[in-house]
Amino acid sequence: MNKRIRIGTRGSALALWQSDYVRRKILENFPDLQIEIVKIKTTGDKILDAPLAKIGGKGLFVKEIEEALLKGNIDIAVHSMKDIPTQIPDGLEICAMTERDDPRDVFISKRGIPFSELFNGAIIGTSSLRRQAQLLHRRPDLRFIPLRGNVDTRLRKLKEGEMDGIILAMAGLERMGFGNIKKEILPLDICLPAVGQGSIGIEIRESDDRIREIVTRLNHEETSIAIRSERTFLKRLEGGCQVPIAAYAKVTSDTIELHGMVATLAGDVLIRDRITGRVDDPEGVGYALAERILSTGGRKILQEIYGRERFEK
């Protein structure tokens, strides 16, 4: 067996942590392998002064890495699952999803004020339309400004800037060693997470059976089932960073419970629902919830955002 493996990743501190985590997990099962981490700069990393919704969406964080994988310059691509578009390039596959960490979002206040007690007109930093729409639905008086960068960069901007608070993912905060920082975990009934949030996705070439044998051992079945359901929901809604869409699935025994949401950009209209289904049909559960939300107002929201008749029955 060829003992050399190249892992492709973004160069951010969080991405490198995730790639090193995957490297360590592989070595637990195959200690004789020689694993190299290859940093690849993506378009999303190069453009930091604009919201993702305006520059092309989450695919900007994976495109160059996937191209390197297809060319054979790397053997494995490691991504945050929430960054992977639902449409995977031909010849590639998501081979494993790691066990999910806490998928919830957290609110970090500059002055220690709870989210519910923020004064009218408070300024919140986030570039996520999903977070913005859900919080505006609760608090239409809030003001939101774009905020991008690494976890430490965002925390520094909060401390030095004019924002009253920021929203971050709990999983990223903990992975970067900021788990003890004063924060408020936002309940799922206030802010549903991004699809796949909290899990690391490992992408390989479909034809590479050697790498598949190595990587599949890292797959966490319960997490994979849940996120497959969420991603089907997102795919049916043709969602990306341009639309406030969220979903979270929980697997219990032989049942999936999936919560989903779509909202207007201003958060004044928010359609949210839940569905349960069989654990052996996660895609069916995701599709069924998407259809339910489309039929109860979601289709109209998406048509207005996209500006075309994209979701006709």
Residues labelled as active-site residues: 83
Strands (E), the chain: 4-9, 34-39, 76-80, 92-97, 105-109, 123-125, 143-145, 165-169, 184-185, 200-205, 245-252, 255-263, 270-278
Amino acid (one-letter) located at 121: G
Distance of alpha carbon 174 from alpha carbon 307, whole angstroms: 39
Distance of alpha carbon 110 from alpha carbon 124, whole angstroms: 10
Pair 130, 54: CB distance under 8 Å? no
Distance of alpha carbon 27 from alpha carbon 105, whole angstroms: 31
Residue at token pair 């049942």: 255
CA–CA distances in Å: residue 171 to residues 126, 139, 200, 245, 260: 16, 25, 10, 19, 20
CA–CA distances in Å: residue 216 to residues 161, 201, 208, 290: 44, 11, 12, 29
Closest Cα partner for 38 from 6, 66, 67, 76?
6
